Structure 1
C-alpha cells in the first residue's frame, strides 16, 4: 500500500516486491535489486537491513519505519520524506545514510557504513 500511494502522488517511483511477483525474496536479493535500480529501501526490518547495507561501500539509503498500522506508517513515511526535503535533495541526502523513524515522529539520520 505505501509504495502504491507514494507512486500515485507522481513525486516518487516506489515498488513493493509483492507487486513485482517477488514476495518472499531473501533480504540480500531485495538489497541487490535496490542497488541495481538505485532505490532507497523502506522497511520495518531494521536489524537485517542495517547489517546488509553496512557491507556496501555505496548504497542509495535505508529508511526504517517502526512497526505500525498502515495509516500510521504512511503518515510517518510522508513526514520522513518532508524531513529529508528540509535537509536537501532527498535522494542525495540518503546516499550511504539510514533514517530511523520513531512512532512519535522523531528522526535519526546517520551515515552507514
Structure 2
C-alpha cells in the first residue's frame, strides 16, 4: 500500500512498513513536512494517491468528507508505537481480504478500535 503516516504517529512506523518491501510509507519528518496544516496534508495525499493513517479522527474525517474523491483514511486509536504497527498491519491484512487495498480504500474510511475491531465505510457518503 501507499501510505502517509501522520505526524501524530512515530516515524519508525513508516520506516518499518517500508522495510517490508511491500509498502511505500511516508512520514512528514522524512520530507520536511512536520507542522503542515491538515488541509495541506490532505492535498498532498490526494495529489500523490496516499492513504492517510492517523489518530486525528475528527479533523481528517471532516476534511476527507469535503473531497469528491480521496485515496482513503485509516484511523487508529491512540496507542503505543508497537500497538499502532500491529493495528496497521491488521488493517492492511483485512483490506487484502476485500481486494486490492488501494482500490478498497478509495473514498473509504477504516476505523480501528484499540481492541482491533474495524469498521469500513464510505466518506463522503454515497447518495
Question: What is the TM-score when the length of structure 1 is the normalising length?
Answer: 0.99
Unaligned runs of 5+ in 1: none
State the alpha-carbon separation in 1 of the partners of residues 117 and 99 from structure 2. 18
Question: What is the TM-score when the length of structure 2 is the normalising length?
Answer: 0.88
Aligned residue pair count: 113
Spell out structure 1 runs of 4+ moving beyond 6 A. Answer: none
1:55-110 Cα offsets, whole Å, 9 max, x none, are 00000000000000000000011000000001111000000000001110110000
Unaligned runs of 5+ in 2: 1-11
RMSD: 0.5
> Which has more helix, going by share of residues?
1
> Which has more strand, going by share of residues?
2
State the alpha-carbon separation in 1 of the partners of residues 73 and 57 from structure 2. 9
* 1:31-50 matched pairs, under 5 angstroms: 31-50=42-61
